[in-house]
Structure 1
Amino acid sequence: MRKLLLLCALLASAPAHAAAGPPADPLALAMSSHAVILMYHRFGEDGIPSTNIRLEQFDAQLAALAAGKYHVLGLPEIVARLKKGEPLPDRTVGLSADDAYASSFTEAWPRLKKAGLPFTLFVATEPVDQKLRGYLTWDQIRRMKAEGVTIGAHGNAHPSLPAMTPEAMQADLETSMRRFREELGETPKLFAWPFGEWDAASMAVLRGFGYAAAFGQHSGVAYAGHGMFWLPRFPMNEHYGSLDRLHQAVEALPLPVSDITPQDVLIRLGQTPNPPVLGFTVAPGVERLKQMRCYTGPGEAVAITDLGGQRFAVTPPKAFAPPRERISCTVPTQEQGRFRWFGIQFTVQK
């Protein structure tokens, strides 16, 4: 069954990471239609710095985003334009938060509403159903939705979907959809991968639920021509919450690539080459490729081999450990302070 799902995913995405039928000028398309999407979790919950943004950091970020230089649009509009290849203003930004923590309602939404900034909340339904402390209630979610927040799906039990059997995966996603229908009267069109973890088989299952797009937790710029079921988002937390970091992210430009290998991001220890050699071809017209730099999630430099013809192989310095690892590559542009950015996340299983 899993092999069949893998084949379906590869055929549907051709390959899983690349847009089918690339345009004649992918760089021009990417430059005319791209957006930076920010991802948050908790707001003002200072005891959990890895998933929290301090309120003074968030206030400073919102002030910067609302100052006029940036175009903050809702994720549904961004996704719709990316899928059609329609233009988006340069420096378009989307805002999202995962997991439906209560501080999204008590702290984030009042600030966002006052600033007039659209927002998407990805809800894992089981913690809400169980009325766990620190999570939103369905009444609060309904109120946020009524006030303009886009509600996205984040699975039911917030599982690592690649770690599940196809049957268990299907059941979790079906439960999530059912609970949204029962509580909100409709089902979300956007999905965020729990932990940012996916593989070809889970992507094949997810596609069957009719979502318009799915988002990861790897840094990078979403652009027309990018795979719509692994769109990148820049994580924001206390460590990466400074204004310098914000501007680095929202000033980023797309680094359009194609023919990504390996075709599946799942690494099985003892069965799959580890570390993976990440291969990709950069779109024609991208300059300063000799200044490309790549790093792992913890910031370790990654060796880059120029294979010619805009093709590169990126080799991490050591094997990846479970449960996940990321690679980010950047290329400076001629515009001061702006970098082209491509990222990808690997799912690592024992």
Structure 2
Amino acid sequence: MERDTFYLSRSWHRIICRRQGRNWTASMLFILAGFLALLPAAWAPAVQAANSGVVIMYHRFGEDAYPTTSVTVEQLDEHIRELQSGSYAVMPLAEMIAALRAGRPLPDRAVAITIDDAYRSVYDVAWPKFRDAGLPFTVFVSTAGVDTGAPGIMTWDHLREMHQGGAAIEAHTVSHLHMADADVAKLREEVTESTLRIASEIGSKPKFFAYPYGEASDEVKAVVSEAGYTVAFGQQSGPLYPEADMLYLPRFPINMSFGGPDRFRQVINTLPLSLTDVLPSNPTLTKNPPNFGFTLPAKKSEADGIACYHSSFGRLTELEKLGESRIEIRFTEPFPEGRSRINCTAPGPNGRWRWFGMQYYVPAR
């Protein structure tokens, strides 16, 4: 008897097919057409092809004393319910990156979950909930706290257990270093040692790197690349898209203030505002104030209604258009010391927003 089996994976919210017997192509097309016709409307967006994905970034869970880096347990439960609603394709970070780099389509509303710093609440609170929901995630680990048994930090046993359960364990320096302030020797030491410690304890070499605080520079990126990493993440907001800098990819930070259900839904529904030729390209400013500018997407309508905002100065009103596709912004005041963010957004289809973000760092004098 010829038979095709078709089933739905709730854990990754993808349609998976498995064939048995002959005449697979014709019968599968017939079954696929019938199955899609029966899908609830909420499932439709998750099976459409797209070329972008959203990466969200957590730190702590249920640690109310740290509102800038934690979400409440209730917020986490709301996030999981939304991610399981059928409108999203929650996938391992490695799958999302592989598809983008190979030019393969992603499902619309593709989402990857990342967590920085290996706090104990990841194991106690988030891990059981993500595991039971079948949601894959990645933890970026600063190894010194784990090695020394620092209070509130997971152990290697915790991390191994999560890794064996499907979580990815990736690199985040040894000491949670302010990398943009460090010299090359220190950078190399921290990147190399953290990579070796994770490989030794987890049993597999990390593939991805995340800059602590999202702070990087051209020199920092070069050291990370020299260590063998081809993909690294900051903490600037925005979706991933094929033209993005693979050594400084964006993630949306999620915390108590920016973790409410409406905000969370807005973030995971964003589309890329595919700006190119962004200057300054160096995330650490060598000139302050900088001359900031970018080239609009080839499809100009994607940038209709564009607005840009600075974390200290608010909405930027002096957008100067040069030719058909170049936008430049001249700042009259220097950026403050530390981290500044620029976000540019534009209305997208079906109530969604297009988003581009950049973080700049100004070293202390």
TM-score for both structures, normalised by structure 1: 0.87
1:263 maps to: 281
CA contact (8 A) 1:296 1:316 kept: no
After TM superposition, which residue ranges in structure 1, 4 or more long, deviate above 4 angstroms?
none
Q: For 1:126, what is the secondary structure of its paired residue?
A: helix
Separation in 2, partners of 1:114, 1:286? 43
CA contact (8 A) 1:73 1:118 kept: yes
Residue 337 of structure 1, CA deviation? 1.9
Residue 32 of structure 1, CA deviation? 3.1
Residue 288 of structure 1, CA deviation? 5.9
For residues 5-154 of structure 1, the aligned pairs below 5 Å read 32-154=50-172
For residues 1-350 of structure 1, the aligned pairs below 5 Å read 32-267=50-285, 272-287=286-301, 289-298=303-312, 300-303=314-317, 304-316=319-331, 318-333=333-348, 335-350=349-364
Separation in 1, partners of 2:50, 2:84? 22
Separation in 2, partners of 1:60, 1:263? 36
Going from structure 1 to structure 2, the CA distance change for 1:89 and 1:126 (only over 3 Å counts) comes to: same
Going from structure 1 to structure 2, the CA distance change for 1:316 and 1:131 (only over 3 Å counts) comes to: farther
The alignment's C-alpha RMSD in Å is 1.4
Residue 177 of structure 1, CA deviation? 1.5
CA contact (8 A) 1:254 1:340 kept: yes
Query: Percent identity, aligned pairs only?
Result: 39
1:20-63 CA-to-partner distances (Å, cap 9, x unmatched) read xxxxxxxxxxx832101100000000011000000101100110
Residue 256 of structure 1, CA deviation? 0.9
Stretch deviating more after TM superposition (86-95 or 283-292)? 283-292
Separation in 2, partners of 1:138, 1:307? 54
CA contact (8 A) 2:199 2:206 kept: no
2:9 maps to: none
1:155-214 CA-to-partner distances (Å, cap 9, x unmatched) read 111101111110111011111122112212222001111000101011011001222411
Separation in 2, partners of 1:34, 1:231? 12
Higher RCO (CA 8 Å, separation ≥ 6 residues): 1
CA contact (8 A) 1:251 1:337 kept: no
Residue 259 of structure 1, CA deviation? 1.4
Q: For 1:157, what is the secondary structure of its paired residue?
A: coil
Residue 316 of structure 1, CA deviation? 4.7
Separation in 2, partners of 1:239, 1:305? 33
Q: For 2:56, what is the secondary structure of its paired residue?
A: strand
CA contact (8 A) 2:273 2:303 kept: no
Show structure 2 runs of 5+ residues with no match.
1-48
Residue 74 of structure 1, CA deviation? 0.5
Q: Letter of the aligned partner of 1:278 in structure 2?
A: F
CA contact (8 A) 2:54 2:268 kept: yes
Going from structure 1 to structure 2, the CA distance change for 1:123 and 1:33 (only over 3 Å counts) comes to: same
2:44 maps to: none
Q: For 1:344, what is the secondary structure of its paired residue?
A: strand
Residue 286 of structure 1, CA deviation? 3.2
CA contact (8 A) 2:170 2:198 kept: no
Residue 71 of structure 1, CA deviation? 0.5
Q: For 2:204, what is the secondary structure of its paired residue?
A: coil
Separation in 1, partners of 2:171, 2:332? 35
Stretch deviating more after TM superposition (234-243 or 291-300)? 291-300
1:225-283 CA-to-partner distances (Å, cap 9, x unmatched) read 2111111111000000111101111111011121121232212xxxx332222111012
Residue 320 of structure 1, CA deviation? 1.4
Separation in 2, partners of 1:221, 1:317? 29
Stretch deviating more after TM superposition (179-188 or 128-137)? 179-188
Residue 305 of structure 1, CA deviation? 1.8
TM-score for both structures, normalised by structure 2: 0.83
Stretch deviating more after TM superposition (297-306 or 124-133)? 297-306
Separation in 2, partners of 1:213, 1:50? 26
Q: Letter of the aligned partner of 1:307 in structure 2?
A: L
Show structure 1 runs of 5+ residues with no match.
1-30
Q: Letter of the aligned partner of 1:332 in structure 2?
A: P
Q: Letter of the aligned partner of 1:105 in structure 2?
A: Y
Residue 342 of structure 1, CA deviation? 0.5
Separation in 2, partners of 1:60, 1:182? 36
Separation in 2, partners of 1:232, 1:242? 20
Number of residue-to-residue matches in the alignment: 315
